Structure 1
Amino acid sequence: MVDNSELPFRMLCRKYGADAAYTPMLHSRIFTENEKYRSQEFTTCKEDRPLFVQFCANDPDTLLEAAGTVQPHCDYVDINFGCPQRIARRGYYGAFLMDNLPLVKSLVEKLAQNHIRVSCKIRIFPKLEDTISYAKMLEEAGCWVLAVHGRTRDEKDGKKFRADWKAIKAVREAVRIPVLANGNIRHMEDVHDCLEETGVEGVLSAETLLENPAVFAGYRTPEWVCAGEEEEKCRDGLLDQADLVVEYLKLCEEYPVPWRMIRSHVHKMLGEWFRVHPHVREDLNSQSKLTFEFLYDMVDRLKKLGGRIPLYVKDTDVAKS
């Protein structure tokens, strides 16, 4: 969720049922050194709770300094040990610290020993016993909450590799601290299935949430609407991406964030519209400098153009369970 879980988007997700939220992954060293980075990349408000502020880090002292800055404004300081991207390999953080467990332990201990509530996000090892040992080590080091992404470091494609809920269940049974599950969440039915199968205390969503910020309110994208049934039989409330984009833009006006974040969310939420009207997407991409006026006008253009309008469809049986 780098660049994709900033304050306006978090507030939109909270409106539609998210119980807690993570900030974008912040670079602990840059956060301590650069005031502009701190002020632009981390913003919050009193309604933005419970909140996990997540950092990537490979130096305990630097992480502690960064954590001390945000501690008064959040519920947990999260260490991201799960990022599998090349930038994490180059910067030596995220999932690439799985090769140096003593360093991982020292990062967690540094925060815990300084009375900071620390949470961790991890990926699983290819061998289950290694994953269990990893989770127990983090608990012993002082981790308060553990989020487990049920894929290995090399399994970066969520559409190609299914998350291993059995491994997450094994972690849940091996530790005493709360565990959150991540992976395979497309709609609320998946949330309930995951909770039942793994026994965890909570479920995270990332990629699905970017396209459908209302997923926790029970809304589905057309791809996942009542599989095997006629859509008309299970349609209750309708909410289209254009309306969600307008809500998001209004929140961005209230809580300013860098335009690159806004551009990214607009592309994600209007992806289906852009496939129908690619010339509108090209117009967006041609804008070197965005304005709210342009974006509101673009949404109006898409509505007038019509075509296939993807709607979120609320499955009331799932949403009420």
Structure 2
Amino acid sequence: MAARSGVKKNGFQFWKEDLGSPKLIVAPMVDQSELAWRLFSRQHGAELCYTPMMHASLFRQSPKYRRENFATCAEDRPLIAQFCANDPQVLLEAARYVEEDCDAVDINLGCPQTIAKRGHYGAFLQDEWDLIAKMVNLLHCELSVPVTCKIRVFEDIDKTVRYAKMLESAGCQLLTVHGRTRSQKGMLTGIASWEHIKAVKENLSIPVFANGNIRFLDDVKKCLDETRVEGVMSAEGNLFNPGLFHGEQLACWSAVDEYLSWVKLYPPSISIVRGHLFKLWHHVLQTPGYDHFRDKIATAKTIEGFELVSSELKSLLLSNITEEELKSEYSCTIGSIPYWRCQPYVRPSCDMKRSRAADGPSDNGGQATPANRKKKRKKVSDSSPLTGNKEGSVKKQWMLCVLCRTHPMGLKCVNKLCKRCCKIKSAHDLIDCTGHRLLFKTKFEKMKEQQQDQSVQIEELATVT
């Protein structure tokens, strides 16, 4: 890629000359697309990377926040820095800190999480077109680098196209389209719509990237052929299999060792490293006989600690895998890849969660127990009806969960279950448990109401038109 000159390029000239015509892109991910991970991903085919999403107001105010959230180096190019914001001037001031160290500044208009709703940014700005246009245009006019945007789609394709054209008119020079709506998250994540992305591409004169449904390299090729976009972005697919863009499923221990070598050169926070290891080891930790390593990763507090746990897990794996299995071929389809190779994470749908709950709780189906639950686990163990406190005294006897018969029942649980079993049952039956503060029914009904409101708005707009 040629070095960026002092002249700001726009549209396709920017995509070709400043970015080097990238087709394989690592998405901006909060606490996950840090410098060490970006360099690791570039070694395995990534042609363009984004920084994690950074909060513009905090970035502008706090030198500590800037140090902790933005780091780069000569090898980390091309690079796009992403911010979330709802104030044009604040966004501009934050962007000025990074414009000399990146190739573009991206505005996050696609985050659908609750924290984005509370902070009033991301996808929760998508109905405020005047405000968005002001933010885009101010950066377009004032920054020395181009401004880009990342959005989610509306249910209505025509409205999505109008939204994208508004962004282009305001000065956006490259648009990434995540083919899911704002409400498609959690149990309602579903399939991303490439039809929406294709419609946007056909109606814009700037480069477009597609995001969504990328699990294997074949999916990248299919997306490029179907949508005709300039590039394909991967988030979750890249996190669970950093070899995605090379069309390979790395051995988990190989991916972990390589990532940790980058971590030593460009250390992020321990929590960020832990998050990556849980994803790289995910399918191994879901396999009986290895699930106890989850707690070891959760309680490790140093890079050396992560290395020791990973080395122990690697040794156990290699002792259980034959030479023939290591060399054997497999098809790149869900369920066909050996558990010890990096592979896509299949996000459970609402129906899948109900099916799992019907079979009862699994010993290895949960996520890793964080370190701060260590005392709680010890307390539960010590509270067994057969365990005494000090000599001559006995702790209170706890009633056991009626499902697993292992953990104590929540004192206020309406289902008379431990929290883990209650979570599974509540997800399966779509009910609330105020005792455990589980609000599956409430959240599900709220999302349905939002979808219905959007449908009514679309119908009213169609009637007016």
Alignment partners' CA distance in 1, 2:268 and 2:115: 23
Q: Which whole-Å CA distance do the structure 1 matches of 2:80 and 2:187 have between them?
A: 23
Aligned to 1:245: 256
Residue 296 of structure 1: aligned partner:
307
Alpha carbons of 1:159 and 1:217: their partners in 2 closer, same or farther (altered >3 Å)?
A: farther
2:165 maps to 1:142: no
| CA apart distance, 1:241 | 1.2
Q: How does 1:73-92 map to 2 (within 5 A)?
A: 73-92=101-120
> Aligned residue for 2:292?
279
- Show the counterpart of 2:217: 188
**1:103 alignment counterpart:** 131
Deviations 1:273-321 (A, max 9, x none): 222311111122234xx212211111111122225752259xxxxxxxx
Q: Following the alignment from structure 2 to structure 1, what is the Cα–Cα distance between the partners of residues 185 and 129?
A: 21
1:54 and 2:82 are equivalent in the alignment: yes
- The farther-off stretch of 179-188 and 267-276 is 267-276
The residue aligned with 1:311 is 341
**Is 1:208 the counterpart of 2:237 in the alignment?**
yes
Work out which of the residue numbers 248, 254, 274 in structure 1 matches 2:265: 254
Partner amino acid for 2:278?
A: H
Q: Please say if residues 145 and 177 of structure 1, whose CA atoms lie closer than 8 Å, have aligned partners that are also in contact.
A: yes
Q: Deviations over 1:33-85 (max 9, x none)?
A: 01011001110001101111000000101100111110011111000000000
Secondary structure at the residue paired with 1:283? helix
1-side partners of 2:76 and 2:176: how far apart? 20
Indicate if the aligned counterparts of 1:53 and 1:70 stay in contact, CA closer than 8 A.
Answer: yes
d(CA) in 1 for partners of 2:73 and 2:315? 36
Residue deviations 1:101-156 (CA, integer Å, cap 9, x gap): 11111110110011431000000011111101100000000001000000100011
CA distance in 2, matches of 1:133, 1:309: 44
Which residue number in structure 1 is paired with residue 30 of structure 2?
2
Rounded to whole Å, the distance in 1 between the matches of 2:164 and 2:339 is: 44
In structure 2, distance between residues paired with 1:126 and 1:309 = 37
CA distance in 2, matches of 1:36, 1:21: 23
The equivalent of 1:45 in structure 2 is: 73
Give SS of 1:281's match. helix
SS of corresponding position for 1:219: coil
CA distance in 2, matches of 1:192, 1:147: 17
Does 2:162 align with 1:117? no
Query: Structure 2: which amino acid aligns with 1:79?
Result: I
- The alpha-carbon deviation at position 160 of structure 1 amounts to 4.5
Q: Using the alignment, how far apart are the partners of 1:134 and 1:21 within structure 2?
A: 25
Superposition RMSD in Å: 1.4
CA distance in 2 between counterparts of 1:295 and 1:123 reads: 36
State which drifts further: 8-17 or 152-161. 152-161
Structure 2, unaligned runs of 5 or more: 1-28, 321-337, 344-465
Whole-angstrom CA distance in 2 between matches of 1:83 and 1:263: 23
Render the CA deviation track for 1:170-207: whole Å, top value 9, x for unaligned. 00010100000000000110000000000000000001
Contact 2:280 2:342 in 1 (8 A): no
| Aligned length, in residue pairs | 293
Deviation of the 1:271 alpha carbon = 0.8
Give secondary structure in 1 for the equivalent of 2:190.
coil
Corresponding residue SS for 1:148? strand
User: 1:273, 1:302 within 8 Å by CA — same for their partners in 2?
Assistant: no
Instruction: Tell me: higher relative CO, structure 1 or 2? Use CA pairs within 8 A at least 6 residues apart.
Output: 1
- The structure having more radius of gyration, on CA atoms, is 2
Instruction: Give the Cα–Cα distance (whole angstroms) in 1 for the partners of residues 262 and 189 of structure 2.
Output: 34
Runs of 4+ in 1 over 3 A off after TM superposition: 157-160
Whether the aligned pair in 2 keeps the contact of 1:240 and 1:309 (CA below 8 Å) is no
Q: Which amino acid aligns with 2:258?
A: E
- The match for 1:63 is 91
Deviations 1:238-271 (A, max 9, x none): x311111111111011012111111100111011
The residue that corresponds to 2:276 in the other structure is: 265
Alignment correspondent of 1:21: 49
1:192-235 residue CA offsets vs partner (Å, 9 max, x unmatched): 00000000000000011111011001114xxxxxxxxxxxxxxx
Unaligned runs of 5+ residues in structure 1 are: 221-238, 314-321
The residue identity in structure 1 corresponding to 2:104 is Y
Instruction: Name the counterpart of 1:130.
Output: 159
